[in-house]
């Protein structure tokens, strides 16, 4: 019974991811169209000041989808649905079990996982065996720049394919052949990758295991540096 509830919850999450990914695509398309309209109708009354500043800084050829946890899942799905819209995807511990099947196999393509050892991992609803469940697809997420930020909490537990992604990274099987795509291991817990970890007192989060011995502000500083390195490499030229 418990297993059935988890499976049903996972299916509902997949549907929710599709909706959120679509919203991400629509929001991006709106900003791009608004930028074009503002350029054609250069008036201060076209958009609120904050939006106008955003549109001014928006570079259509340097858009990246980014998210944490289920947000990372949304970003991967949005990228697959509209591959020409974003230059790359940045994921913080994405919940791969909640991805629709085509996105899952666009990441774990047979040519990317063949011969690897870490084909089993723990997900929210089941134990996953990628080799047994693999489905052929002509879609691929590896045509874009990919950055996976993985916490040691998820890596040590092999949660949501963390070790499989690490092996793909170590074998040079993430993204293209230019060396831009990568997985980066962050010594922290999953919760620490969200901004709420910096806003919640450590005396509350540490006893319940949401944060480890490291200060989440230091974790955020490392993440900022890792993101800057990746974006600099991805946007060259």
Tell me the per-residue pLDDT of 71-102, one tens digit each, with 9 for 90 and over: 999 999 999 999 889 999 999 999 988 889 89
Pair 155, 166: CB distance under 8 Å: yes
Q: What is the DSSP letter of 53?
A: H
pLDDT of residue 20: 95
Q: What CA–CA distances, in Å, run from 76 to 45, 95, 162, 237?
A: 36, 10, 15, 24
Separation of alpha carbons 183 and 212, rounded Å: 21
Q: What angle do CA 101, 168, 234 make, to 5 degrees?
A: 90
Q: Is the pLDDT of residue 187 over 90?
A: yes
Helix H or strand E encompassing 57? helix 49-57
Pair 187, 152: CB distance under 8 Å: yes
Tokens 């001014």 — which residue? Answer: 56
Tokens 């963390």 — which residue? Answer: 162
Pair 186, 150: CB distance under 8 Å: yes
Q: How far is CA 108 from the centre of its chain?
A: 14
User: What number is the average pLDDT over the span 191-214?
Assistant: 88
Q: What is the DSSP letter of 159?
A: B
Confidence of residue 5 (pLDDT cuts 50, 70, 90): confident
Q: What is the DSSP letter of 64?
A: E
Which residue has better confidence, 157 or 55?
A: 157
Structure token digits, residue 105? 């196999």
Structure token digits, residue 219? 């974790």
Strands 127-129 and 182-186: unpaired
Q: Is the pTM value of this prediction over 0.85?
A: yes
Q: Is the pLDDT of residue 39 over 90?
A: no
Separation of alpha carbons 58 and 52, rounded Å: 10
């Amino acid at each position: 019974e418990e297993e059935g509830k988890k499976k049903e919850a996972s299916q509902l999450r997949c549907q929710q991811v599709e909706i959120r990914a679509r919203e991400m695509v629509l929001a991006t398309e709106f900003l791009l169209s608004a930028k074009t309209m503002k350029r054609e109708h250069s008036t201060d009354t076209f958009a609120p000041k904050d939006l106008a500043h955003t549109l001014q800084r928006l570079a259509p050829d340097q858009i990246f989808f980014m998210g944490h946890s289920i947000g990372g899942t949304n970003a991967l799905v949005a990228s697959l649905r509209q591959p020409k819209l974003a230059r790359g995807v940045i994921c913080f511990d994405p919940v791969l079990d909640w991805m629709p099947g085509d996105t899952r196999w666009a990441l774990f393509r047979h040519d990317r996982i063949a011969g690897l050892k870490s084909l089993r991992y723990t997900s929210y609803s089941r134990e996953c065996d990628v080799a047994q469940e693999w489905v052929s697809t002509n879609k691929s997420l590896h045509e874009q720049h990919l950055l996976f930020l993985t916490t040691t909490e998820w890596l040590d537990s092999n949660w949501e394919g963390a070790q499989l992604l690490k092996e793909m990274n170590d074998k040079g099987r993430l993204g293209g052949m230019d060396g831009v795509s990568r997985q980066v291991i962050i010594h922290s817990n999953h919760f620490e990758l969200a901004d709420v970890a910096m806003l919640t007192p450590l005396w509350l989060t540490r006893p319940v295991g949401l944060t480890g011995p490291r200060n989440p502000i230091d974790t955020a500083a490392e993440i900022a540096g890792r993101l800057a390195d990746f974006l600099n490499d991805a946007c060259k030229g």
